[in-house]
Amino acid sequence: MKRRDFLKSAGALAASTALTAPAVFSPAKAQSRAETLLIVSEGGPNNIDIHGVGTNVPGYEVAWNCYSRLISHEMKKLPNGVEYYDKDKFKPELAEDMKIGDMSATFKLRKDATFHDGTKITAKDVKWSLDRAVTVGGFPTFQMRAGSLEKPEQFVIVDDHTLRVDFLRKDRMTIPDLAVVVPVVMHSELIKKNADEKDPWGLSYTKQNIAGGGPYNVEKWTPGTEVIFARNENYKLGPLPKTKRIVWRIVPSAGNRRALLERGDADISYELPNKDFVELKQSGKLNIVSTPFSNGVQYLGMNVTKPPFDNVKVRQAVAYAVPYQKIMDAVLYGLGGKTFGAPANKQTEVAWPQAHKYNSDITKAKKLMEEAGYKDGFETTLSFDLNFAGVNEPTCVLIQESLAQIGIKTTINKVPGANWRTELNKKVMPLYVNVFSGWLDYPEYFFFWCYHGANSIFNTMSYQSKEMDANIIAARDAAAINDKTTYEKAVKGFVDQAFADVPRIPLYQPYSNVAMQKNVSGYQYWFHRRLDYRNLAKG
């Protein structure tokens, strides 16, 4: 199949340490610096295996750049010139040919593809890797399940360079789900040599070692300090990456990250306070790119299984107490999408995210608290992820101040980034600020992850509703057969219920903000919101 036909087929289916005065690189390393991109961020990976237990968001970036997948997305340009992944168009990566049948898809693999150690990549490795993803449990297995990829029996080796994926059901998310971060292709024999009966998938080994064939490899990882990547000089699945070496340094202080950028020592940072991004953009010394999270919402979540948040009137009271506009102005400095204060007569859209009808109204919030039996309020904790403290901490302080006005006294709980995912999945935090952005940009995908009762990963509120579940499944089934009427009714149904029951309160649609030196090019926005190193280069 020619590249043009491949794209047509796929598209149709989808319809640290604190750095202060010293320079990071000495003059003696000038040549190396010219071939190296230095990225600085607030937090780093806690695990470099996307299938690992509790792997955090920075860990996704390592997996994306060090492993290959069968297919990936084409790019398109937004009106502001930003390169943005095209959710409906795919391109070959490890697969050079894809044929989609009624209930299966067959992939022909490139014969020149190798892992980092030179071993040929075969269909055996692809099947083993996909088997691992659907079996290992936790987030990876739920992600695969989101695209109806659930059983090892679905992945069939036809020959050394041909793999067939059998469909369990018609699902428009099956093929797109093969292009996300999770279905990486791993060096099966290397991992097996480092596995044992207690750890058959070799998770201990891959937590600290790359076993892939992607565009980059990890040369050195010092947790909490830095990750150093070296270009895979034998990369055959696309153009050779433009930069030889990537140094990702963890610099917890936002002030130090900004200073490194302004001094020219750092090339890229995507975790600064929004105030800094606004000021840097105004100064004109750096390129600042702001892109709304696709299918993403920053939210205030509540554990609905235990008092007081098992009471819908308490949750609604909190929704009316949130200082939305203050957060937009004082924390985001306008770099965020509005998801609150919709007019009372606004019709529900077939879209996500969209604005709910709650606005800051302390009087109404107090009345609801009284109706719920909590006139005198209560005490609770309000938790956030320290990996993203620049936004999370001031947001929580503003929420704390407003909740105090309706009698809710909160103690702010700062959770280390390396532990956040684990703590979140325990579902014991009563009140917390978090972000979720669906990798597949469909409303039913977001709601499957965040509101479906059977989802134990990102339904962090432990919310249960048979009506909600039925609407989510109805939307998925209708999308698979292009039943527009049923689909629209189901989407409006689950959005309306989410806003009525408010187990989580959308605060705003976040923006992905990236600051780069003027001579850095090749930035692309991806659904996972992390950097793709392949096209990044210095002019």
User: CA nearest 194: which of 180, 213, 209, 181?
Assistant: 209
> Distance between CA atoms of 7 and 103, rounded to whole angstroms?
19
Query: Domains of the chain: which residue ranges?
Result: 3-15+34-251+517-538, 296-511
Range in 209-223, 226-240, 418-432 with the lowest mean pLDDT: 418-432
pLDDT of residue 461: 96
pLDDT tens readout for residues 335-386: 999 999 999 999 999 999 999 999 999 999 999 999 999 999 999 999 999 9
**Is residue 19 predicted with pLDDT exceeding 80?**
no
pLDDT of residue 31: 55
φ/ψ of 71, rounded to 5, equals: -140, 165
The helix/strand/coil state of 431 is strand
264: its two tokens: 């020219």
pLDDT of residue 5: 52
Q: Mean pLDDT over residues 147-171, rounded?
A: 97
pLDDT of residue 33: 73
pLDDT of residue 21: 32
**Is residue 11 predicted with pLDDT exceeding 60?**
no
pLDDT of residue 34: 76
pLDDT of residue 54: 87
Domain covering 296-511: architecture: Roll (3.10)
> Distance between CA atoms of 20 and 316, rounded to whole angstroms?
46
**Is residue 14 predicted with pLDDT exceeding 50?**
no
Average pLDDT, the chain: 93
The whole-angstrom distance between residue 193's C-alpha and the CA centroid of its chain comes to 31
112: its two tokens: 């020149």
Q: How many CB atoms lie within 10 A of CB 26?
A: 10
**Is residue 173 predicted with pLDDT exceeding 90?**
yes
**Is residue 2 predicted with pLDDT exceeding 60?**
no
Q: Mean pLDDT over residues 164-175, rounded?
A: 96
pLDDT of residue 63: 98
pLDDT of residue 455: 73
pLDDT of residue 418: 84
Burial 391-420, CB ≥16 within 10 A → b, else e: bbbbbbebbbebbeebbbebeebebebbeb
385: its two tokens: 């992820």
CATH level 3 topology of 3-15+34-251+517-538: D-Maltodextrin-Binding Protein; domain 2 (3.40.190)
Q: How many CB atoms lie within 10 A of CB 197?
A: 5
**Is residue 30 predicted with pLDDT exceeding 70?**
no
The whole-angstrom distance between residue 58's C-alpha and the CA centroid of its chain comes to 9
φ/ψ of 153, rounded to 5, equals: -65, -15
> 138-146 and 123-135 helices cross at what angle (nearest 10)?
110
Q: Mean pLDDT over residues 517-525, rounded?
A: 97
**Is residue 7 predicted with pLDDT exceeding 50?**
no
> Distance between CA atoms of 107 and 126, rounded to whole angstroms?
10
**Is residue 429 predicted with pLDDT exceeding 50?**
yes
> Distance between CA atoms of 399 and 380, rounded to whole angstroms?
13
32: its two tokens: 């190396």
The whole-angstrom distance between residue 460's C-alpha and the CA centroid of its chain comes to 16
| 454 confidence band (pLDDT: 50, 70, 90) | confident
pLDDT of residue 537: 96
pLDDT of residue 29: 54
Q: How far is CA 320 from CA 10, 323, 380, 404, in A?
A: 44, 8, 18, 13
